[in-house]
Chain A
Amino acid sequence: MRWRAEKHTPFLLLSPAILTILFVVAIPLAFSLYTSMTPYKLTKPDTINTFVGLRNYVRLFSDDKFWWAFGRTILFLAVALNLEFILGLGIALLINRITWGQRTLRTMMMFPMMFSPILVGFQFKYIFNDNIGILNNALQALGITDGSIAWLVDKPLGMISIITAEVWMSTSVFAILLLAGLFAMPRDPLEAAKVDGCNPWQVFRHITLPFLMPFAFIAMTIRSLDVARAYDIVDVMTGGGPAGRTEVLWTLIARVGYDNSKMGEANAMAYVSTLLSVAFTYYFFTKLVAARRYMGGAE
């Protein structure tokens, strides 16, 4: 009898969590899937009853605008995440070297992570503003340029500005977790390698980096959970404009769904973006589990 009770306890403990996720995520996602197969428009409520199968998806996949936004999203993620990893690694190695003020620096690094993305976006919108931004003012004061560079308007600059904001906000995730990895690293293998005559690069490449990988995967998993936070930054900085130059998948969803009230099409797009995020998280989560198993074996 007691054994039976034990068997059900974990499910009882987990039921509130499961119910919440069902109600707020799973059921709405199922509804979203259905809606994506209707021509539903907010202005014509009846259209939700018309089932059109995959028509929205077919239309989407033959739409240049969608593919541009999709490509831009992938490019944005690839550039931002790689930069964040490399910079984060550099910062972690740097802070690991200094002895004085290490804790203060680590605390400081937590702050961008805890900032609201909307604030980070606003902050950089202010910095990059062509007329009153501190960046143009500084460039003019230093005599580098006379005119005002339209950071948020010109073609590659808009995306670069947005990526800068994103990297500023999220590099700390990597830096902090990699630094924690460096702190946890055993000294013996490092000493042994030095005694054996390895140069610093070899030590880094063959001892430090493999040890840090699980920490990098934790950071990647955490980041993959909220990459779509970038929507806030883009929305506040450029709103996807001007003329769609910085349009990413997430801003396009909002525009089609809420501004044009074409909910059917927007839901189809939302499904694509959801699958993208979920696949991304799944990939890094399995990597993390594998790394965990490897570390467990080493213990």
Chain B
Amino acid sequence: MSGALKKRLSKIATWIATFLLMIVMGVPGLWVVLSAFRPNREIMAKPAIWIPENPTFSNFAAIFGFGDAQVAIPVLSYFTNSMIIASTSTVIALMIGMSGGYAFARFRFRFKNSLFLGLMLSRAVPGIALSLPVFMIWSKLGLIDAKLGMIIVYVALNVPFTIWLIDGFFRQIPKEMNEAAQVDGCTRWQAFWRIEFPLARSGIAAAGVFAFLTSWNEYALASQLTRSTDSKTLPVGLMDFTAQFTIDWAGMCAMAVIIIVPALILTFLVQKHLIAGLTFGGVKG
């Protein structure tokens, strides 16, 4: 076989493999999105209807309680709960993470490595295992079915990873910059806000998005610690559609779209920084 032909064949093989990869990655999500715009009748049809015949917004209207809703599920309050819980816990986790990440990036101290490991291991506790004692303690404290209870849990869930990421971003900034600013008469605090913080800002934003999505997507703890529209989040609410024997597929698909869209937008905005943060923080010791 000639070299040119071989090269050509390998190029074609690469493209075919890439195409298959994109199909496997894209189709499942796309199918859910498409189904969100089809009536239940069409989803259940036998033989299957592949291309939507009557695209409709009625599924969305139905879950928000407009039109001839069969199931009234308070999606709007779930959405609000998710937003409040995820954004509040993200802001708090970021503040704690910045202060902790800075300590790891800039100081030498005793037990540094064990502390870092301890923080990471705390994150490894399975959500469902942690939910049992938290459930018992939160019921004593009156934090069950309260947004505050969820916010506290999610802050703790996000702190370790936020610290890991932010530690990595601060390490990329040469220590000398802060020292130079201090020589020029800044206090350490001022030097941090004027020099290091602006440089690490995009990385911190990426850590924030990661934290937000962790809370936005969490299910194991939320499913046990929330009860009603006071605090139920979207992932828990999705299970409302599953009755004992029937499932409202169209409604579930519509709600899935509502959960996906913010995740897609946020991921798209920060993907570059997130990859940099994960690898840099991990590799440069």
B-contacting residues of A (Cβ < 8 Å)? 6-7, 9-11, 13-14, 16-18, 20-21, 23-29, 31-32, 35, 91, 94-95, 97-98, 105-119, 122-124, 126-127, 131-132, 134, 137, 140-141, 168, 176-177, 180-181, 184, 214-215, 218, 221-222, 224-229, 231-232, 235-236, 250, 253-254, 257-258, 263, 266-267, 270-271, 273-274, 277-278, 280-282, 285, 288-289, 292-293, 295-296
Contact = CB atoms under 8 A, between A and B. Distances in A.
A118 B235 contact: yes
Contacts of B217: 114-119
Given A91-B21, A215-B279, 13 more contacts: A10-B112, A24-B134, A31-B136, A106-B275, A118-B235, A123-B256, A131-B44, A134-B48, A214-B282, A218-B278, A229-B127, A232-B235, A253-B129
Nearest to B242: A236
B31 A134 contact: yes
Contact of A114 (B123, B224, B263): B263
B112 to A, nearest CB: 8
Contacts of A181: 279
Given A13-B100, A115-B263, A288 B275 contact: no
B199 interface: no
A9 to B, nearest CB: 6
A112 B25 contact: yes
Contact of B134 (A28, A110, A134): A28
B31 A236 contact: no
- Tell which of A91, A124, A134 has the most Cβ of chain B within 10 Å: A134
Contact of A184 (B239, B274, B279): B279
B156 A180 contact: no
B129 A215 contact: no
B103 A14 contact: yes
A116 B235 contact: yes
A11 B109 contact: yes
Per DSSP, chain B at the interface is helix
Given A23-B156, A112-B25, A232 B115 contact: no
23 contacts: A10-B104, A11-B103, A16-B100, A17-B100, A31-B133, A91-B21, A97-B14, A107-B268, A108-B26, A109-B25, A110-B274, A111-B29, A111-B263, A111-B267, A114-B213, A116-B216, A116-B219, A118-B217, A127-B28, A231-B128, A253-B129, A277-B129, A285-B120
Contact of B132 (A17, A106, A266): A266
B279 A218 contact: yes
Nearest to B253: A126
B129 A236 contact: no
B126 interface: yes
A231 B263 CA distance: 20
Given A132-B249, A263-B136, A119 B260 contact: yes
Contacts of A257: 132
B115 to A, nearest CB: 7
A36 to B, nearest CB: 9
A29 B103 contact: no
B263 A296 contact: no
In this complex, which of B47, B152, B263 has the most chain A Cβ atoms within 10 angstroms of its Cβ?
B263
B99 interface: yes
A104 B100 CA distance: 34
A195 to B, nearest CB: 18
A25 B122 CA distance: 7
B220 A232 contact: yes
A119 B259 contact: yes
B124 A224 contact: yes
Nearest to B49: A137
Interface in B263-285: 263-264, 266-268, 271, 274-276, 278-279, 282-285
A64 to B, nearest CB: 21
A208 B281 CA distance: 21
Nearest to A222: B278
